[in-house]
Chains A and B, each alone.
Chain A
Amino acid sequence: DVKVTQSSRYLVKRTGEKVFLECVQDMDHENMFWYRQDPGLGLRLIYFSYDVKMKEKGDIPEGYSVSREKKERFSLILESASTNQTSMYLCASNTRGQGADTQYFGPGTRLTVL
């Protein structure tokens, strides 16, 4: 059974804090993705990684960074959290195919920044 796990389901942080969201997949997938989901906006891609230590900006990378030191783990970092980063964050992974490969999602982390 494929599995993508995220470190927390709910997280509350204060403005200015550094926040780490962790994602781990056990499927040996090359690609990993971070999205955020906001009401009325759908899923938006923040960053993705197609290999260890490789990363590419998505559509809304401002205010975020990522780290991929091991194949199974992809971290999203909010260097200085702000209230407009309150959102649901979803991690996903898939194989290095040609885009017809299903993305497997984690359960999400609902982050609130006060």
Chain B
Amino acid sequence: ILNVEQSPQSLHVQEGDSTNFTCSFPSSNFYALHWYRWETAKSPEALFVMTLNGDEKKKGRISATLNTKEGYSYLYIKGSQPEDSATYLCASGGGGNNRLAFGKGNQVVVIP
């Protein structure tokens, strides 16, 4: 079982502030790194899939970077809004067996 760690586990952010959090994963046999957003009472929704060292992806005010050599990914939220309140899940793995190992998530609450 791959060990995927996310930190911090939860955070409160003032509306308008920017924030970031970390996902760390085993760098050996790396295949892909996924980020999902999971809002309360909804399905987890894919944000990004990254495979190459140095990858950077952006979707609106949310962006992510990937360092496969040292085994970490950062997720950034710029100018947080209340609708950004969610749990952000990081998952690593894939390859031939398609299995993903998920971290425990970063729970974000944006305070108006």
> Which A residues contact B (CB, under 8 angstroms)?
4, 31, 35, 40-45, 48, 50, 56, 58-59, 90, 94, 96-108
Contacts and interface: CB of A to CB of B under 8 A. Distances in A.
Contacts, number: 67
Interface stretch (B65-73, B74-82, B93-101): B93-101
Q: Is the interface of A mostly helix, strand, loop or mixed?
A: loop
Contacts of A97: 98
Contact of A99 (B45, B97, B104): B97
Interface size range on B against A = 20 to 34
B95 A106 contact: no
A107 B42 contact: yes
A35 B100 CA distance: 11
Interface of B: 1, 31-32, 34, 36, 41-46, 49, 51, 89, 91, 93-100, 102-105
A56 to B, nearest CB: 8
Contacts of A44: 102
B46 A103 contact: yes
B32 A100 contact: yes
Contacts of B36: 105
